[in-house]
Structure 1
């Protein structure tokens, strides 16, 4: 891969800006709110951190994915929910406050769980003794690029709420533009690989996306969580932060693998369609129940 300044510096800086924007939208109350509905948060975290990676691991074998794509799938599964989950949850009449709380907790928790899951995937799927690209020094880099900007954003919101409010829309717009730019970059640099494995990637990503939405809604309902909170959990788990996972995969200072970004690139476009359909479905069910 071309070790250009645009990738070596640009990707981490862009990722840091995105995470800064997330921090600008969070407050300490978003973390404290876990005490209001601990059951919903615990169930959501179990689905996000344990159940989905396990299901994703199985899908990699069902679809016989090559190692790079399998690791890319696990990277996607380990990524926290995207901030757009809040919007989709609102449109589907979910508990948006719960979404915000889960986004806050997942963003911090992913600093630990994401490197662990990705390292485990690298160890398992690349069993040739190669040096792992995401060892302890890389974990520190993920920490610096992801968590530190979130903390800075939260401090800015507390110290300068007016500035945080003004920056919200520009940062969100930047995040969307960056998502499209990375998808295009992945498609251009990996066009032949994408065409050659689109059937496997597309099928695996679609099934994983549907499982994410389904597990996020059905499991909470099975344990007695109300439909509004289950909708929020379904959106939070069903819309993974593909921008984050693509940036980590593509960045030369992290995984440095455009092929590992392919599942997230496909997922980035697909998830918004399935989430909209999922939202319509649960909204109709809620109306019939009401």
Structure 2
């Protein structure tokens, strides 16, 4: 990837996206965990335990090359993205729960992301070619947490400004992610056809399973429907920019970033389709209720 894009563009992109997340957050979002512990714990269990296991099973099933397999697991270990909040809002999920989950996940990922990624590197016996030093991981999450903190500070000092900036920052984040994806695909243009053949299907299957797991598991244990919708999008819409940044800047491999780039392209139509399916199910259920009574 072009050096200016990786050394300047990626950090700025990640900082803007995390600043936008901070504009949505307050201290109360962290306290809200105590109000809905069941929904939070089930969603985190899906995100931190079940999802990496599902992804690893798919990596083995599809027999991915080592670097692409590491890229898929890095993606699975990445927390939810800010776009999850937008999808949750569009399809009537509990957006407050989304915001709380994103905040907690971003902090917990400081430990879980390098753990899962390093275990995958060891599994594929790639420690000689790629590594994730602790110092670099700390730098990455400083880059994440500082903009989030600044965004939260701005919101506490000027809620009106934070509200006005919400839409522009979301649009800017989407544009930045699109540019990153284009940059990665151009950088890997000689191999992009093969990469899409290798990871296009697995990325789509993983996205679909992530969305379904995030909804079905919480509902099966009695979590409210709107909270299950929030969980679904939180688990199915990953922070692709973070995964790309770690792949390029920490692991030093554009190839490892390819699954996150492909996933980021596919997750928007898949998440939208899933949201419409949930909405249709809700309408059918509400139409049937009067007949039952």
TM-score higher than 0.5 here?
Answer: yes
Specify the alignment match of 1:93 in structure 2. Answer: 92
Provide closer, same or farther for how the CA distance between residues 199 and 147 of structure 1 changes in structure 2, counting only shifts above 3 A: same
Q: Does 1:23 align with 2:36?
A: no
Distance 1:73 1:35 in 2: 32
Alpha-carbon deviations, 1:160-218, whole Å to 9, x = none?
33333333333222211211111111111112222113222011101101110111011
Distance 2:200 2:127 in 1: 30
Alignment check: 8 A CA contact 1:227 1:286 kept: no
Distance 2:47 2:169 in 1: 26
Report how many residues are paired: 286
Specify the alignment match of 1:111 in structure 2. Answer: 110
Alignment check: 8 A CA contact 2:80 2:105 kept: yes
Q: Does 1:122 align with 2:118?
A: no
Specify the alignment match of 2:289 in structure 1. Answer: none
Q: How does 1:7-156 map to 2 (within 5 A)?
A: 7-125=6-124, 127=125, 129-130=127-128, 132-156=130-154
Q: CA RMSD in A?
A: 1.7
Alpha-carbon deviations, 1:109-133, whole Å to 9, x = none?
22221121112212222x1551653
Specify the alignment match of 2:242 in structure 1. Answer: 244
Specify the alignment match of 1:192 in structure 2. Answer: 190
Distance 2:118 2:200 in 1: 24
Alignment check: 8 A CA contact 1:69 1:260 kept: yes
Alignment check: 8 A CA contact 2:75 2:243 kept: yes
* Unmatched segments (≥5 aa) in structure 2: 287-293
* Unmatched segments (≥5 aa) in structure 1: none
Distance 1:75 1:212 in 2: 15
TM-score, with structure 2 as normaliser: 0.92
Provide closer, same or farther for how the CA distance between residues 128 and 46 of structure 1 changes in structure 2, counting only shifts above 3 A: closer
Provide closer, same or farther for how the CA distance between residues 111 and 136 of structure 1 changes in structure 2, counting only shifts above 3 A: same
Deviation at 1:241, TM superposition (A): 1.4
The worse-fitting range, judged by mean Cα deviation, of 44-53 and 165-174 is 165-174
Q: Secondary structure of the equivalent of 1:191?
A: coil
| Consecutive aligned runs of 4 or more in structure 1 exceeding 4 Å deviation | none
Distance 1:6 1:192 in 2: 19
Distance 2:90 2:171 in 1: 19
Alignment check: 8 A CA contact 2:18 2:144 kept: yes
Distance 1:132 1:138 in 2: 13
Alignment check: 8 A CA contact 1:216 1:237 kept: yes
Alignment check: 8 A CA contact 1:31 1:101 kept: yes
